[in-house]
Amino acid sequence: MQNKHPEKLLDEKGLRVDGRRLDQLRPVRLEVGILDKANGSAYIEQGKNKILAAVYGPREAHPKHIALPDRAVIRCRYHMAPFSVDERKSPAPSRRELELSKVIRESLEPTVLTDLYPRTTIDLFVEILQSDGGSRCAGITAASLALADAGIPMRELVAACAVGKVQGQLALDLSDIEDKQGEADLPVAYMPNSNLVTLLQMDGILTLPEFEKGLNMAIEACKTLHTMQREALKNKYSQIREVAEEKEEPEVIA
């Protein structure tokens, strides 16, 4: 079992508490279309993070007055399950959850072609089943996949990853311990094909060269995650295509 309060976040070999190198992502598992009732859904495991994302819509806006005449409204709810952290978390939306709902929504808004569905809403739910740091980034990665799975037209998939500072050194994809005991945190959401950053936050202190290096590390990680997202979609939809092709084969009458 991992020590929750380690004295050092880096050992003599420069490895982190969980044995990773500074520029190494946690193991990522992505699955698409796992909820039957949602229009689109995705599941991500990034290290110990376990996150479900579901998309409903475009559907009629309720209450009616939130509808916009020229585009769809995206609503996002980031929520941590009461059992997602060591100490029970109140299920009521906290200030942090409201803020993260807003930043996730704003990081995905540039990619969705909302003008195709005026007067409707697209509801996005990000449910944290198990949290281990970097859940906003993992949530964005999963939510982007869920939007694509729902068939909502998008400019591009969005991937997100954080960089932080641990014992004076930049480290990729911070875990919960590193996030809490580290010196800085820099979450980045990125659209690789159009080379656009859709989310950039910073917590703590980084020098300008550190910031630049950290941003580049995060962007490289986002590119890796983007490849994984693509593979996850391919895995699901190539299976569907194979099943459809099998059904289409004509019956042979002896």
Verify binding: residue 155, other proteins, rule CB under 8 A.
Answer: yes
Q: Can you tell me the distance from the alpha carbon of 188 to that of 147, in angstroms, rounded to the nearest whole number? A: 19
Do residues 43 and 155 lie in contact, with contact meaning Cβ atoms separated by under 8 Å? no
What are the DSSP calls for 99-136, one per residue? HHHHHHHHHHTTTB-GGGSTTEEEEEEEEEEE--S-HH
Of 13 and 64, CB closest to other proteins: 64
The one among 94, 241, 242, 243 contacting other proteins by CB under 8 A = 241
Verify binding: residue 75, other proteins, rule CB under 8 A.
Answer: no
Between helix 135-149 and helix 95-108 the angle, nearest 10°, is: 50
Verify binding: residue 157, other proteins, rule CB under 8 A.
Answer: yes
Between helix 135-149 and helix 208-248 the angle, nearest 10°, is: 30
Q: What is the three-class DSSP state of 6?
A: coil
Q: Supply the DSSP symbol for 10.
A: B
Instruction: Provide the minimum distance between the beta carbon of 37 and other proteins in the complex, in angstroms, as a whole number.
Output: 8
The one among 45, 127, 132, 149 contacting other proteins by CB under 8 A = 149
5-13, 76-84, 109-117, 211-219 -> range binding other proteins (CB under 8 A): 109-117
Of 10 and 154, CB closest to other proteins: 154
Q: Which residues contact 238 (CB under 8 A, 6 or more apart)?
A: none
Verify binding: residue 38, other proteins, rule CB under 8 A.
Answer: no
The one among 8, 59, 102, 180 contacting other proteins by CB under 8 A = 59
The length of the chain, given as a count of residues: 254
Instruction: Provide the minimum distance between the beta carbon of 58 and other proteins in the complex, in angstroms, as a whole number.
Output: 5
What tokens appear for 242 in the block?
């194979």
- Paired with 119 in beta bridges are none
> Binding marks (x or -) toward other proteins, 119..138, rule CB under 8 A?
xx------------------
First-to-last alpha carbon distance for the chain, in angstroms, is 63
- Secondary-structure percent of the chain, ordered helix, strand, coil, rounded to 5: 30, 30, 40
Of 132 and 149, CB closest to other proteins: 149
46-54, 77-85, 150-158, 160-168 -> range binding other proteins (CB under 8 A): 150-158
Verify binding: residue 58, other proteins, rule CB under 8 A.
Answer: yes
Q: Interface residues with other proteins (CB under 8 A)? A: 39-40, 57-60, 64, 67, 69, 111, 113, 117, 119-120, 148-157, 191-194, 229-230, 233-234, 237-238, 240-241
